[in-house]
Amino acid sequence: MDSLGGSVRIPKTSEVLARRIRRWIINGELPKDSRLPQEAKLMEQFDVSRPTLREAIRILEWEGMIEVSRGARGGARVTSGWGDLVSRAMGIALQTRHATLAHIHEVRSLIEPPAARLAAERNSEAAADALGELMQEQWWAWSDAHAIAEIISAFHQTLLQQCGNPTLEVFGVALQGIVAKNIEMSGRADNRASHVLPKPKTAYRSQERLVSLIRAGDSEGAENHWRKHMAATQTYLLGGFSATEVIDVLD
């Protein structure tokens, strides 16, 4: 019988162990902020050596699933921070493809308006509440360009989280860091920290309108309104930066 070609890579024991612990975290057997069992207990349970266990822990730490603190009271704590891993991987992939900020906003304009529709259809009250809380944070943080950039990008990410489609949520998390950097860059370019986006009349009121439409369950209205919003803010955010590559934003 002819070979199918290529060699089959056997996973290392540490990778198999990391996979087992990762599944505990994903399934909720190890909830966020809980501590992993002591080294000795894990070594006995899985019948592995200390170096193998520690390599598995390093894998999970790199993925952002756990956080390791050193010292007498140290140990591994569950963070379930998959977002950092997704964002980092997406950033690297986009850099290798020479993606620009214009490409990023093109994708956002394609996925966020339908997400607004889904949020209004599937999760209107919870979505409106979550987005409304972020709007309050924006109002009080407007004099801090860095903080407002993070809050505005979190608003867009939360919209994707609340639409009921986990794939859209992952896209939002992956792009969040790049979008936040772009918002901050646009604010600095204006030489006015308070002018990241005009507070009283444009972006803020546009977000208010979106929240009202979602709360009312007006899916078509939410989608159409957010499509117009994305077009308007894209023009502002890309002013002078449309050809800027992702690598120049993240590095």
Which DSSP string corresponds to 126-166? Answer: HHHHHHHHHHHHHHHTTT-HHHHHHHHHHHHHHHHHTTT-H
pLDDT at 192: 43
The class of domain 13-78 in CATH terms is mainly alpha
Domain with CATH 1.10.10.10 in the chain: 13-78
Residue 149: what pLDDT? 76
Beta bridge partners of 139: none
Domain with CATH 1.20.120.530 in the chain: 84-250
pLDDT the model gives residue 160: 93
Name residues of the chain where pLDDT drops below 50: 1, 191-200
- Domain formed by 84-250, architecture: Up-down Bundle (1.20)
